[in-house]
Amino acid sequence: MFTDVQPLRVEVGRTWLWPDEVPELTVGSTVQLDTCGDQDVQICLAGCLIARGHAVVIGGKLGVEVSELVPADIPEGKSH
């Protein structure tokens, strides 16, 4: 049984912004990510990639359907 709680992170994609671009973000701004719309999201626990999946909408809320469990020896961000 787990003894301490770890945050689960679901990563949809990444991007880089220059420091002077951050103050330009406003409500309604769009930030382009480095992933395609049909690409898997990555599920990480304590900084380790544990699974991949697809973003889904369940009852109006965003969720993730797990499609692959990742072996413990694969570092975060690496492909299978």
Residues 20-47: pLDDT tens digits?
A: 999 999 999 999 888 877 788 999 988 8
Q: Which domains does the chain have, with CATH numbers?
A: 8-24+33-69 (2.30.330.10)
* DSSP 8-state assignment for residue 78: -
**Rg of the chain (C-alpha set):** 15
Q: What is the pTM for the complete model shown?
A: 0.66
77, pLDDT greater than 90: no
End-to-end CA separation in angstroms for the chain: 28
Residue 21: per-residue pLDDT: 93
Arithmetic mean of pLDDT, 10-29: 92
Give me the pLDDT at residue 76, please.
54
